[in-house]
Chain A
Amino acid sequence: MSKEQILSSDGIPLEKSLKIAERKNKLKAVLLVAPLFLFILIIYVFPIGEMLFRSVDDRMITKMLPKTFNAMEKWDGKDLPDEEVYKGLYDDLTYLKKNKTYGKIIARLNYEKSGFSSLIKKTVRKINKFEEGNYKEQFIKVHKRWGKNEYLVALKNTAPNWSYAKYLKGMDRKFDQDRNIVQVEEDRRIHKILWLRTLNVAFWVTIFCFVLAYPISHLLATLPMKYSNLLMICVLLPFWTSLLVRTSSWMVLLQQQGPINDLIVWIGLAADDNRPELMYNVIGTFVAMTQILLPFMVLPLYSVMKTISPSLMRAGKSLGGTPLVSFVKIYFPLTIPGIGAGCLLVFILAIGYYITPALVGGASGSLISNTIAYHMKSSLDWAFASALGTMLLVGVLAIYWVYNKLVGIDNIKLG
């Protein structure tokens, strides 16, 4: 083959000219995506990163007691520390008292070791009466816990700037005296229950949605257009209706004096004065979430079933397969991509559900999202909320990754 160069009309070798054009097109595409990408990066990805950071950030205590920790660096933790540490503690606490900001360290230290709350409060109350020099003795006089090594060790243990203690807490574990990871007391293991319940609810809601959605998607896909379009409204109207409207209709239906209970009483399944509790427990969460998430299962299933030619089933039958055999061997395997897409989508959405469980779930039906909201808005333990959020996020992203591998993100169908 001759290596003669082909030139484009302006005299540049064709290969080079093509490359320039390619690069130009590439740049154009990237520039088009760039505004949204940067926007999401700054207002979404960066804040989520900050949330991760917040969940492990434990610098508050070292910032508030700088002199103490400075002095503690030399202390080996075996015997009581010397005067220098107590002097630092005196300086820091006096400063905190003047600014009235010691409340924060109380919560943090009490988490590390219970008993710190009264210890700090009492010390701060009396710190004005301290005389110069010999602080160690004065501290121990105010509260004998200052003379116990375990409290000072606990204080020293809070020194590292980064801590994964919040993650341990999210898994019902904690550090003991010697920095070993142990389970928390039996009656305080609430998070494990919550995680399991969240997974359980998401799993069963997915199963229920699948069982309900499969037949109707099949019906929608096989009916003539004019009927299926009409029935499709039953799927799409809830899909487009406000989540709160749908949740409130479930609250109306499931309440003690509501229509469903009326029906149960009328049929005679329960006495009028002994109406079953359908709401504010896990039943309410199951029923309402299944109805609310059902369209997300129907739409992917429908779009896959729509592409399956009816002649395949007829061929199966003509070759002697019973309808059941043709269904199991032909139809069902062809719908598996739709099943995968629908189930993963519903599971992802269910696992992070917040509004519906909060309104109809009560205490026994609340999920991990509700706990995150509680720590964000009520207990104000933002670091712990961030840690729980991160744990949930990791789970969701893992499923998202699987979804992307199996279904392909650009195959999400909307309506």
Chain B
Amino acid sequence: MALPNHTPLNYRIWHYTYLTFCGLVFFFLIAPLFVILPLSFNAEQYIHFSAKMLALDPEGFSLRWYEDMIYGTKNPWGLATKNSLIIAFFATIGSTILGTVAALGLSSRHMPYKAAFMALLISPMIVPLIISGTAIFFFMAKVGLAATHTGIILSHIILGTPFVVITVTATLTGFDHSVTRAAASLGSNPVNTFMKITLPLIMPGVISGALFAFVTSFDEVVVVLFLAGLENTTIPIQMWVGLREQLSPTIMAVATCLIIMSTLILVSAELLRRRSERLRGINR
């Protein structure tokens, strides 16, 4: 963003103020995440930068909180991780299948009341979680699914589908329907056409929707707070409980692991998005 030489001084000042402001906003966005990383390696029990850490003394750092996270006595993280993964896995599968199928229907130009259906199917994303949590809790308690994995998975499917519907419909907007007609004219049945032609083409959208659904379920606290019993505790629940009591370095260690995970997910989502744009022939 170099300015031409003849730029007047006041524009120059304005321009650099603008860039500085942008820099600060980016810093505001990203810096809080990086506060957590060093603190998780703290050798002391307190959540602040000790003198030794600031002096980069190796003695100021340790892996003890990671040890505590994995091996600590009566630590809940093992069970929580297992539950989180199981719940997120099934919730992702459920949301992806239901969402993709629905998106196929919604993208068809024959679909009646498209906007109304779309608004309804997206609503779980818009309605505050506290309301969804309350309503789903009453329902699950009534049908005897409160404090079960099944109940939590079903509610996470609901919360995850909007993302799948949105990403898959977005991929389908540029979709050339003549390829499926070509397949049909060559004698392929609809299921075969879907598996061999449509699905590979919309795959990037499906996977990025699935990633959203996974993250939604993996991070979700409010509904689980209402539904979970002791046996169904998840990572976010344990973090929530821990944060309400006090900030412990172990939580920083868990948070660091979660940040690494989200970085990996972000990278895969970005790669998928670019692949999808390439496949659909959108060039910027």
Residues of A bordering B, CB below 8 Å: 22, 25-26, 28-37, 39-40, 43-48, 50-51, 54, 212-213, 215-216, 219, 223, 225, 229, 231, 233-238, 240-253, 255, 257-259, 291, 294-295, 306, 323, 348, 351-355, 359, 369, 372-373, 376-377, 382, 385-386, 389, 392-393, 396-397, 400, 404, 408-410, 412-415
Contacts and interface: CB of A to CB of B under 8 A. Distances in A.
B121 A40 contact: yes
Most B-side CB within 10 Å, residue of A43, A238, A257, A385: A43
A244 B131 contact: no
A400 B126 contact: yes
| 3 closest Cβ pairs, A-B complex | A352-B128, A32-B105, A47-B139
A243 B272 CA distance: 23
A28 B106 CA distance: 11
A414 B135 contact: no
B210 interface: no
A33 B105 contact: yes
Interface string B115-147: 101111111101111111011111100000000
Contacts of A247: 243
Contacts of A255: 47-48, 247
Nearest to A344: B126
A404 to B, nearest CB: 6
Nearest to A412: B166
A348 to B, nearest CB: 6
Contact of A39 (B136, B158, B284): B158
A268 B249 CA distance: 29
Interface stretch (B72-80, B180-188, B255-263): B255-263
Interface in B229-280: 236, 239-240, 243-244, 247, 251-252, 255, 258-259, 262-263, 265-266, 269-270, 273
B181 to A, nearest CB: 12
Contact of B135 (A44, A213, A225): A44
B258 A35 contact: no
Given A50-B138, A231-B26, A238-B30, A39 B128 contact: no
B121 A369 contact: no
A240 B269 contact: yes
Contacts of A46: 139
A244 B243 CA distance: 9
A253 B32 contact: yes
Interface of A: prevailing SS? helix
A220 to B, nearest CB: 9
A22 B239 contact: no
B28 A244 contact: no
A194 to B, nearest CB: 13
A48 B131 contact: yes
Contact of B105 (A30, A241, A396, A414): A30
B243 A50 contact: no
B148 to A, nearest CB: 14
Given A248-B252, A408-B115, 19 more contacts: A25-B110, A28-B108, A33-B106, A37-B120, A43-B136, A48-B132, A215-B18, A223-B1, A245-B255, A246-B32, A252-B47, A252-B252, A323-B11, A351-B128, A355-B222, A376-B134, A410-B169, A414-B166, A414-B170
A414 B106 contact: no
Interface string B206-236: 0010001001001101100110000000001
29 contacts: A25-B110, A32-B105, A33-B101, A33-B102, A33-B121, A35-B101, A36-B121, A43-B158, A50-B135, A51-B134, A51-B135, A219-B22, A237-B263, A242-B219, A244-B219, A248-B243, A252-B35, A255-B47, A259-B49, A291-B29, A306-B284, A352-B127, A359-B244, A377-B225, A377-B226, A392-B128, A393-B127, A410-B166, A415-B270
B203 to A, nearest CB: 16
B46 to A, nearest CB: 8
Contacts of B98: 35-36, 39
B167 interface: yes
B200 interface: no
B48 A257 contact: yes
Interface SS majority for chain B: helix
Contacts, number: 271
B102 A36 contact: yes
Contacts of B112: 26, 29-30
A412 B134 contact: no
B154 interface: yes
Contacts of A236: 266, 269-270
Contact of A240 (B11, B28, B265): B265
Nearest to B173: A410
Contacts of A243: 219, 221, 236
B35 A352 contact: no
Given A32-B108, A223-B1, A409-B115, A385 B247 contact: no
Contacts of B284: 225, 306
Nearest to A244: B239
Given A47-B135, A48-B131, A48-B135, A36 B119 contact: no
B71 interface: no
Nearest to A400: B126
A413 B212 CA distance: 13
A39 B72 CA distance: 41
A354 B161 contact: no
A252 B259 contact: no
Nearest to A232: B270
B91 interface: no
B92 interface: no
Nearest to B247: A251
A30 B111 contact: yes
Contact of A26 (B110, B158, B239): B110
A233 B263 CA distance: 9
A372 B134 CA distance: 9
B25 A212 contact: yes
Contacts of A212: 25, 28
Contact of A386 (B36, B39, B134): B134
Contacts of B11: 323
A251 B251 CA distance: 12
